[in-house]
């Protein structure tokens, strides 16, 4: 089965639901309509009792993050609503009672990296690149990276990634625990489907309980709420305004 919903495609293969980010002209950058379609696709697969595992993937690139063109027009209140929408999707992935696998090709930056962080397992092609690059335009991550990234790779490395905005290779991501497996790019989807098949053979009830317990154990819920507030505050700063001008002018802020 293959359904299309704007820039999100959904395939169903055996017991696996596959969500494909499909806006290649902008490296799958996520705008509000695309985020809403992603939310709806997750809800559809969550309700489908025949689906026991979910894969999220892109094409040439996984996702370059939030749509900068849309963000450029936002004030603090609009930025807060945008952050809340992104958080609602990442939180749904985290709380969904089915395992979710991120299959990452090419770039997973900013919000794209955050979508992958919300997934239970990350599998990367050898040419995948990860980064929380928001600081380069004078803002902070807005969809959960300040909380999920330290929980996954440790506080020191997380601060380094977020504060420098550097982009790391798949091999480095594997070495710090950001990804579980790396594979040849052409074998990425097959490896993700293999993992989905393994997880589909386990108790879905037990997996749901594991997800719930590990989420509680990380204690990130208050931090996620604070991140929304501080993310929106960035949109009232001179650093943000200069960062956006620099981005579109292709100069250093």
Active-site annotation holder among 46, 134, 193, 227: 134
Active-site residue flag, 134:
yes
List Cβ neighbours of 252 (8 Å cut-off, separation of 6 or more): 246
Indicate which residue of 11, 46, 77, 114 is catalytic: 114
Active site residue 193: no
**Alpha carbon distance 81, 34 (integer Å):** 15
By C-alpha distance, which of 132, 123, 107, 133 is closest to 174? 123
CA-nearest of 48, 45, 52, 49 to 20 is 45
Gap between the Cα atoms of 152 and 173, Å rounded: 11
Answer whether 228's CB lies under 8 Å from 83's CB.
Answer: yes
CA dihedral 165, 169, 17, 225 (to 10 degrees): -20
The b-or-e profile of 133-146 (16+ CB within 10 A means b, else e) is: bbbbbbbbbbbbbb
Catalytic annotation, residues: 114, 134
């Amino acid at each position: 089965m293959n359904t299309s919903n704007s820039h999100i495609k959904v395939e169903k293969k055996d017991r696996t639901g596959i969500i494909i980010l499909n806006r290649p002209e902008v490296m799958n950058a996520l705008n509000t309509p695309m985020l809403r379609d992603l939310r709806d696709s997750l809800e559809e697969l969550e309700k489908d009792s025949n689906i026991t595992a979910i894969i999220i993937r892109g094409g040439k690139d996984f996702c370059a993050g939030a749509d900068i063109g849309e963000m450029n027009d936002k004030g603090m209140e609009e930025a807060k609503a945008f952050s809340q929408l992104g958080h609602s999707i990442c939180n749904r992935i985290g709380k969904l009672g089915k395992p979710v696998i991120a299959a990452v090709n090419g770039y997973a930056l900013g919000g794209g990296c955050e979508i992958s962080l919300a997934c239970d397992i990350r599998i990367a092609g050898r040419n995948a690149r990860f980064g929380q690059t928001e600081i380069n335009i004078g803002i902070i991550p807005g969809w959960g990276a300040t909380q999920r990234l330290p929980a996954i790779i440790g506080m020191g490395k997380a601060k380094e990634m977020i504060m420098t905005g550097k982009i790391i290779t798949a091999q480095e991501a594997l070495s710090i625990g950001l990804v579980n497996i790396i594979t040849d790019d052409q074998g990425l989807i097959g490896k993700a489907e293999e993992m989905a098949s393994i997880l589909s053979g386990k108790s879905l009830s037990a997996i749901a309980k594991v997800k719930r317990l590990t989420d509680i154990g990380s204690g990130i819920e208050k931090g996620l709420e604070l991140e929304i507030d501080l993310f929106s505050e960035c949109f009232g700063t001179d650093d943000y305004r200069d960062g956006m001008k620099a981005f579109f002018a292709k100069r250093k802020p």
